[in-house]
Structure 1
């Protein structure tokens, strides 16, 4: 199975816990961390933590059991498909509604807003079925859908004296095992917007991972260049003394 960015980050976090607990030397930690970020399959990731216990434990190996489910778009998609829908629609008239956090989207979800608004956040949602249709109808109101970048989303709405379409989108490719969501409907003198972006927690994790990777690369360069620089510097110093 191909490994996802979230799974690579989970392994990296286990390695950081291990070095913090003194189970790994720094050089071994750096080697394993580099291998984790380069891994493309589960088979390459699992051996990196197979000999390590779970954080804070001296009994259970970190690689011997399935990882705890992750929240947000980094979660394992197959685990987020199936189950009983907790909501099949939203209604707003001179008011508003929102569906966000951990909830299960019905295979047919209808949202209506008139002189009001609604928020539909799919970033931490589960899905009743692999294929979902979200119908958004607004009259002089607004509906906003937020989807994770890895979700397969198809927008096919109509705007009359209003707008129906996609907004901002973070760079990412839809995951092959993610659900397919078709967003359709009508915006009459109103608007329906669809944004694709990660949660703040995910963006922070990605930023930290990139910073750690850059730090490791900098350490690698300094380790290769340092001894040569010292030798060259020492030689120049001796040459100046001899000339003097």
Structure 2
């Protein structure tokens, strides 16, 4: 069992990697025409001198990319045997998950995600849907109908700069919806994979 940090994520010191991630997002936003070069320079200076996550967050909060309506969602159907998306996979802007009798498990911990928002529609049905997210990701579930199974959000709710928001809507059905961080076994497995 790991202890939760006593201070909020926003007050945590930013690392060089955190600052680099924000710098990359700012450069992409300028390339897309969402901010002009003068504003890019201002934000880059603030990003490079930021000491905490709270100082980094406002620099990219208004730069969520526009989702195209023509984008086909990733559709996962649990069926009888269930379905899992884990390891290295590219996260699309929209995901639809049907729990069926076997359930759906989406593990984002090693996924490639450059999005600021991911729209997820769930129909948890009998077996439910489980989301495993890295620390710092946040799930917004206000549009989710709890159904019989209900929602269990085991995350802190704190969002770190440069991390996505899962906007989850739909119904929890009988199986329920769970949002959590990786458990001990999953963390051990990840460490073993990374050490190879």
Question: What's the TM-score, normalizing by structure 2?
Answer: 0.54
In structure 2, how many angstroms separate the alpha carbons of the residues matched to 1:188 and 1:202? Answer: 31
| Mapped contact 2:86–2:108 kept (Cα < 8 A) | yes
In structure 2, how many angstroms separate the alpha carbons of the residues matched to 1:106 and 1:128? Answer: 9
Change in Cα spacing, 1:164 to 1:173, as seen in structure 2 (3 Å) is: closer
Give, in angstroms, the shift of residue 160 of structure 1: 1.7
Residue 22 of structure 2: aligned partner? none
Give, in angstroms, the shift of residue 148 of structure 1: 1.0
Pairing of 1:56-71 with structure 2 (within 5 A):
none
In structure 1, how many angstroms separate the alpha carbons of the residues matched to 2:164 and 2:88? Answer: 16
The answer on 1:95 being equivalent to 2:81 is yes
Residue 133 of structure 1: aligned partner? 119
Residue 162 of structure 2: aligned partner? 177
Residue 162 of structure 1: aligned partner? 149
Question: Any idea what SS the aligned residue of 1:200 has?
Answer: helix
Change in Cα spacing, 1:100 to 1:203, as seen in structure 2 (3 Å) is: closer
Pairing of 1:68-147 with structure 2 (within 5 A):
88-127=74-113, 129-147=115-133
The answer on 1:152 being equivalent to 2:164 is no
In structure 1, how many angstroms separate the alpha carbons of the residues matched to 2:88 and 2:82? Answer: 19
Change in Cα spacing, 1:107 to 1:172, as seen in structure 2 (3 Å) is: closer
Change in Cα spacing, 1:201 to 1:175, as seen in structure 2 (3 Å) is: farther
- Number of residue pairs aligned between Structure 1 and Structure 2: 130
The superposition leaves residues 129-155 of structure 1 with CA deviations (integer Å, 9 ceiling, x where unpaired) of 321111121211221111111113222
| Mapped contact 2:74–2:92 kept (Cα < 8 A) | yes
Question: What's the TM-score, normalizing by structure 1?
Answer: 0.44
Give, in angstroms, the shift of residue 179 of structure 1: 1.8
Residue 190 of structure 1: aligned partner? 175
Residue 3 of structure 1: aligned partner? 15
Higher helix proportion: 1
The superposition leaves residues 93-115 of structure 1 with CA deviations (integer Å, 9 ceiling, x where unpaired) of 11210011111111010010222
In structure 2, how many angstroms separate the alpha carbons of the residues matched to 1:132 and 1:147? Answer: 12
Higher strand proportion: 1
